[in-house]
Structure formats: structure tokens, C-alpha cells
Structure 1
Amino acid sequence: MTRLIVLIYVCLSFAPIARADDRLVRLFAPAELVESGFLKHLLPRFSLKTQVRVLIVSKGQAHDIAFGAEGVAVFVGPDTAWHMQVLAPQHPGVQRFTKWLLSDVGQRTITSYAPDSVQMFDLPREPDTDSPELEFVGDVATGRDLSRQLCGRCHVVSETERMNDIGSTPSFFVLRTLANWADRFQTFYVLNPHPSFTQVQDVTAPFAHTRPPPIVPLEMTLDQLEAILAYVARLEPADLGAPLQHQ
């Protein structure tokens, strides 16, 4: 009986620690970004929505996410393109933060930081160059239907379904504003959380018997992915606010 009581005490003692770790994300950001005041605007709004706390750490300290010159481009300003490097992709809090930052709500939070009524940060946009426009050979109508069938349970994929998304999941229209949108769609099956439930024929390895997918699997072929890309390429990128302004 005594051993049972001790075992229960030990389990209860360690359980809150694990949950606390899941709700704490350590973020490194260069001094100029911290001093801009932007993170004091951004991070509390994420924490209020998710109950996940983000702790800013100093250079050299262990961290789960870093803002800097490497990784995925997430915002621009002032005069700097900021990227996000994810060092702990399996951390539940990190996954929530990255999904939130790329969601409609997160994107609006980025562009709404305007001290003295001057917008300081904007979203990455495709450069205005003469580079050839990306073309995909898939059938657009088929891509639209596949997007609704395979992706519509989490993402808004068409104008008629604007209110049917998961709040923390970016719409196809928001994703189209990103300079690397095509890369993201072409390799989506390796970007969290997709690997845990996605199978692309002749590309991804089968799920391990000991780790089945947490939801109904998403299964597709490369030809179907090409059709989805052709459809997404025709979408008008979301209007996420006024262009970046400088004083």
C-alpha cells in the first residue's frame, strides 16, 4: 500500500512538469528585433489565444525557435527580411506557435503593429521582377475539387468557404502571399503537422504499425498534387493590409 502511494505521488509530481514544458517555448531574437517592441506586441497575443508562454532568451542559451536570417520567411521590417528557424519541430508549443504565426489571425497581428500610427512590419511578398511566372500542368478544376476534398477539412480553399476553416490554420489565400508558396505546397507532406497523417504514393514511407495516424489519413498521388498546385497558382493572394510605410 505504501509503495502504491509513493508511486502515485511520483506520477503526480512529474505530470505537471511535462505539461508545463509543452506550454513554454524558448525564442531567440536579435537585439534589434527585441528593441523594436514588436515582440511585446506579438507574443502576448499568441499566449492569450493559446495559453502557451514564449520566453525570449539571450544568444547562446538553448532555444526552440529563432528569428533571424535562416529558415522560413515570416515578416519584413524595418528594412530586414525576418525568417523563422524551428529547432524543436516536435514540441507541441512550437507547433502551435508556427501554425498561429502563419494563420490569418497571426498575419493580421504582424501587420497591425503600428506605433505612432506607422506600420512597422509587413508580410513577405513575391518580388516585382520579370522572372517567368510559375506554371503547373495539372487540371485546375480537378485541383479545386481535390483541394476541397483533401485539404478543406483544415484550410479555407475557396472564396465560398471563407468561414469554414480551423482558426489557427492559414487559408490557401494567405499562403499564396508568401514568396515561397510553391515550395511549401510542393513539399507540404514534410512540413508539420502533415507527416503524421499524410501519404503520397511512391514518395512517403508507410506509417509504422506502432504509430498510426492520429486522424483519418490524407492520401494522394503526385499527379493529384500537381492538379492542386495548378489550382492554387490561379488563386488571388489575400489582401493582408497596407504596404510597409517608413518615416
Structure 2
Amino acid sequence: MRRWIALAVGMVCATASVAQDADKTFRLSIPDSLTETGFPQYLLPRFSLKTGTRIERVGADDAADAYFGDTGRAAFADANQVWSMEVGDDPDAQAFSEWLFSAVGRNTIDSFTVDGDTPFSSTVKEERQVVELSFDGDASKGADLSLALCGRCHVVSEANRMKAIGSTPSFKVLRALPDWGDRFQAFYALNPHPAFTQIADVTPPFDISRPSPIAPVEMTLDDLDHILAFVAAETPADLGAPIESR
């Protein structure tokens, strides 16, 4: 009896799963401004004809399984804005999203014309905002700390130009790298620093079986803030144009 009950329950679950997968319909929220372009009326039937899926168009404020708007993944752009798509758990809505971002979907977007013009493009240019890093430390203190703590390996300034390790990049060279802020903020986790660096309340003590090979570099997070302020104020080295290989 238990076997038959288990089998019946399994069949019901399987039927429910198939029914969900075979629903072939979902609700898509589209703002009026996009509907008025005529683009959705062109785009959606092409997916429906290919898959047999019915797409119910609803307004921007209505509950839906997927949304065209300004949140989610950038899908296409017109002259005024980038249109993004946000998708929920509905499998048919997810299938539409996959189609939209496929080569076929991109070609469909680009082939929409109005009076000979192509107002929508699948090529979305994302604007990247350049954030200027700033730090709250004291740059003057940072200069002194950099010489005292880092100057034995790195050229920090003219004060130790002849006293550092030649194969180690100078602070000005490091400052010229696009990710210099990340490098300095997490330097103690980047090799070879973990072997001889201690940041109070941050790094674990050295393993007793692996003591520091040199006199340890010991500092606080406040010290690091001062160093970051100093480096941020430095003029980056001119590294020239990137090397091109043929």
C-alpha cells in the first residue's frame, strides 16, 4: 500500500512539475513609453511564434514575471535610455530572457525599423563612472610611516632612492597602476607581505614554526590610512604607452 501511495504522490508531483514547465505563458511588464514605440509589438510575437509561449503584456505598476525598465540586466537601448530586463522565477519568462540575449534575439532587436531607421540597438554602451579615491589619513604622517615601514624594500621618495631593493616597484610606479588603491589597502594579504607583516587586530600572529624571516613590519589600520593618504597625493610615474606585440 505504501508503495502505491508513494507512486501516486510521485505522479502528482511529476504532473504538477510538467504543468508548470508546460504553462507556456507569462506576464511581462512594459512601461507605456516603450509600448508607444511599437517595439514590443514587433519583438514579442517573434518569440511567441518560435516557442508557442503567450506573453501577457501588463503595465509598469502591475505584478509580472518579468519587467522592462531601468533595473536588471541591460537589454537594449534607444536614443533616450538603456532598457533593462528583470526576470523572476517563471521558467517561460526565463526562457524569453535567454532568447532575448542570444544571437537570434539580438538580431531581432537590431532588425526593428521605423521609416527606414533602426531606433533600438542590442549594443549597450555602459557608462562607467570614474570614482576618485580619497582617504582620511594624514599624508604627512603617511610619508614618515612609508619611509620607516616600507622604505627598506620600496623607493618611497627621493629620501630613500638609493636605499631600496631595485627589483621592488617604487611607490610612484605602484601609484600609476589602475588598481593601486586595492593593492595598498590589502597589501598585507599579497605576497610576500604576509610572511613578515602584522596589522594590529587584523592579521593572525605568525605561526611559531614559521617566524618572520626579517624584522616584522608592524602597523595599525590608522597607520595604513595615513600611508594611503600619502600615496593618493603622490604624482604617478609615467609608465608610457602599453607595450604592443606583433
Structure with more contact order per residue of length (Cα contacts < 8 Å, sep ≥ 6) = 1
Which of these two proteins has the greater Rg computed from alpha carbons?
2
* TM-score category of the 2 structures, normalised to the smaller one: 0.3 to 0.5
What is the TM-score normalised by the length of structure 2? 0.45
